[in-house]
Amino acid sequence: MPVRELPTRPYTDQKSGTAGLRKKVAVFQQPHYLENFLQAIFDVETSLRGGTLVIGGDGRYHNREAIYTAVAMAAGNGIARVIVGQGGILSTPAASTMIRLHQAAGGLLLTASHNPAGPDGDFGIKFNVAGGGQASETLTGRIFEASKAISRYRIFEGGSLDLDRRGSQQLGDTRIDIVDCVDDYAKLQQSLFDFDRIRDWFKRGGRICFDAMHAVTGPYATRILIEQLGAPAGSVINASPLEDFGGGHPDPNLIYARHLLDLALSAEAPDLIAASDGDGDRNMILGRGLFISPGDSLAMLAAHLDKLPGYKGGLKGLARSMPTCRAVDVVAQARGLECHETPTGWKFFANLLDAGRVTLCGEESFGTSSSHTREKDGLWAVLAWLNVLAVTGKSVQQIATEHWARHGRHYYVRHDYDELPTATANGIVDGLRKALPTLAGSRQGDWTVSQADEFAYTDPVDGSRTTGQGLRIVFGDAARIILRLSGTGTEGATIRLYLERYERAADRLGWTTTEALAPLAAIADRLIRINEQSGRKGPSVIT
């Protein structure tokens, strides 16, 4: 019998975070570590048996080995059909799209997203369910429990699998289909956007620079932007995916993609500058002379999306994660749309999208997507912006300026304190939590605290409750200070501090983010004292 049941011993740390299980590569390389986690998924999600499973990853170091193991274990666990991206590659939004399109019972996404890669870097796995969304908190909780009690795993041994040869292969009773990693994804994008208008825009001299950061979006961007839309050669840079992302940090923001800001501010700036992250679900948008913050990008897309073919019928509703700035709320109100505030992590949008209650959602962490799939979708956001530029004939700068003039402007920044000792980070958060009851009603600088609490969420679709989702100090509509612990890091603890300030008056729309937020930063410093308590001089990353 080529399917073997092998004994194993449980690990105690296979608890999923904000987006799947993320650990150092060396942790995943421990004997049976990957096998245990996968078996826990197969044991808990029994609907996979006899069904279709999509498997692919962002191409980082350890991707191929892990894909071989995942496919062999799928064959050992009675999966009828496995669809794998050629070479083991699938971007996160492409994998989600394929789960939906092929009515798969689920998918395994091998990625640690924007975390650095290589032998000393990070690796990760996300389990997505039928419909394409990330497993819910309840499901990942059950998988974690199963992983702590595991005593054996099932794997198809022997047999040969060629990950690079497109077409069908057989492992025992399981059919393995190796498919082009871009085809399905590109077809879906084509159905949403006006490719002819975008092609014309390029013909009339429109220019884009898309930075794939040597991560998974290279082949997707090359196919769609250059081959299908006719963007000039050279419009996609760092297009070849590398196992270590070229030693870079494929987390497109003002620090790790500083060169894109420099380009935007230079005389050679193209009309649109964009980038995506390791697994292709994030996006960064800049225009000539300016950076569009993710919260602004969400709000501006919300204001223009119904001009694009896939959204002509109008938008159902909008949603953002709690720390994301409230610019999109203003658009929702102006258009009479429902607007939801969810905990951090894309999985919390899934029920709202499935129930048809929202069309567009986004996070401050450079994530934007729509109801077309169940993950955030980096290239989708870039295509949406391109299409908006093509139909309006306006520049990014014009769109932003007009938006702020009409809806007001949310100044926004996130400060990350990476790799703090866990006890220090917990101490800082606990300290603020204790102080919250004394803050409500207090005067801080120019503002009065209208609300000071810990965010909890009741899902309006299934009634599930999620608590402990970040501390917030709210100053009415005028400003917010938010503090939470990251759930994606693999070393120590990361504190995220989010500052938001809203202004409407015409003479207050042109400030720099730093000057607009300086008074709030001072209040945060006084109330939370992160530098003092951590011994740091300032945040490790400001985005």
Residues forming the active site: 113
Q: Is 282 in the site for ligand VG1 (CB under 6 A)?
A: yes
Bridge-based pairing state of the strands 272-275 and 236-237? unpaired
Task: Identify what 238 binds: Co ion, ligand VG1, none; CB under 5 to 8 Å per kind.
Answer: none
- Measured CA to CA, the distance from residue 470 to residue 488 in angstroms comes to 15
Cβ closer to ligand VG1: 184 or 277?
A: 277
Q: How far is the CB of 277 from Co ion (least distance, A)?
A: 4
Q: Of 244, 192, 248, 204, whose CA–CA distance to 379 is shortest?
A: 192
Which one of 184-192, 344-352, 469-477, 526-534 is the stretch in contact with ligand VG1 (CB under 6 A)?
344-352
Q: Is 281 in the site for ligand VG1 (CB under 6 A)?
A: yes
Residue 382: C-alpha distances to residues 204, 252, 275, 385 (Å): 19, 13, 8, 5
- Measured CA to CA, the distance from residue 289 to residue 281 in angstroms comes to 25
Q: Of 3, 8, 36, 18, whose CA–CA distance to 487 is shortest?
A: 18
- Terminal Cα distance for the chain, rounded: 54
Q: Of 241, 220, 227, whose CA–CA distance to 94 is shortest?
A: 220
Find how far residue 329's CA is from the centre of its chain: 20
Total of chain residues touching ligand VG1, rule CB under 6 A: 18
- Measured CA to CA, the distance from residue 384 to residue 365 in angstroms comes to 18
Contact with ligand VG1 (CB under 6 A) among 363, 459, 500, 503 = 363
Within 8 A by CB and 6+ apart from 38, the residues are: 69, 70, 73, 108, 125, 153
Q: How far is the CB of 433 from ligand VG1 (least distance, A)?
A: 18
Question: Pattern 105-134, binding to Co ion, x per CB under 5 A?
Answer: --------x---------------------
Cβ closer to ligand VG1: 87 or 362?
A: 362
**Segment 454 to 483, residues that bind Co ion, using CB under 5 A:** none
- Measured CA to CA, the distance from residue 437 to residue 523 in angstroms comes to 17
Q: How far is the CB of 358 from ligand VG1 (least distance, A)?
A: 16
Rg (CA), the chain: 23
Task: Identify what 534 binds: ligand VG1, Co ion, none; CB under 5 to 8 Å per kind.
Answer: none
Q: Is 363 in the site for Co ion (CB under 5 A)?
A: no
Question: Pattern 255-294, binding to Co ion, x per CB under 5 A?
Answer: ----------------------x-x-xx------------
Q: Which residue is nearest to Co ion (CB)?
A: 113
The residues that touch Co ion, with contacts defined as CB under 5 A, are 113, 277, 279, 281-282
The residues that touch ligand VG1, with contacts defined as CB under 6 A, are 18-19, 113-114, 277, 281-282, 321, 344-346, 363, 365, 367, 486-488, 496
